Amino acid sequence: MKLSMRASNGMRLCFMLAISKAPLSASQLVKQTDVSIKYLEQLLAMLRRGDIVKAYRGKTGGYVLSRPPEQITVGDMLRALDDGFELPGCSQGVCDDPYCPNRNVFTKLNKQINELFDGITLCEIVNDYRDACGSNNAGSRT
């Protein structure tokens, strides 16, 4: 199983917004992520529709999280990015084989993966980063 580049990049944007003390402009995010502005804007639009980020216009504008990092989970981010792990159809009740040995295994796996994603907050990810890199290396909004 593998996360898509969209999921990786989108989660990275959320992480960067979570550690920033001020709104970040699209140009700042492009420099920090090394992705094209067009792709970045697509990701930010998905995250806005998913109520993960919001944008402010003007001289001091930019992108910020729409709610505190403690209230945003990995599951929220992945759903906003319309992404996640792809499991066989068996795990989603799409299996014509009455003797499918995978149905129960993948159904349980899918449920546990989603529970895990919904149990990890962006705040925890930031705190893990700060613990690993030292608290002086990351700014804080909260």
CATH number for the domain spanning 13: value is 1.10.10.10
- Name the one residue in this structure whose structure tokens are 């893990």: 128
pLDDT band at residue 141 using 50, 70 and 90 as cut-offs: very low
Give the model's confidence band at 142: pLDDT under 50 very low, under 70 low, under 90 confident, else very high. very low
* Inside any domain, residue 79: yes
pLDDT digits (tens, 9 = 90+) for 12-61: 999 999 999 899 999 999 998 889 999 999 999 999 999 999 999 888 88
Does some domain include residue 142?
no
Overall domain count for the chain = 1
Q: Is the pLDDT of residue 89 over 90?
A: no
User: Higher pLDDT residue, 135 or 40?
Assistant: 40
pLDDT beyond 90 at 73: yes
The pTM is what? 0.81
Mean pLDDT of 119-134: 90
Write b or e for each residue in 86-107: b if 16 or more Cβ atoms lie within 10 A of its Cβ, otherwise e. ebeebbeeeeeeeeeeebeebb
Q: Is residue 125 domain-resident?
A: yes
Number of H helices and number of E strands within the chain?
6, 2
Tally of CB atoms within 10 A around 110: 17
Identify the domain containing residue 122 by its residue range: 5-137
Is the torsion defined by CA of 44, 117, 51, 53 positive or negative?
Answer: negative
What is the per-residue pLDDT for 25?
Answer: 94
Answer whether residue 28 is part of any domain. Answer: yes
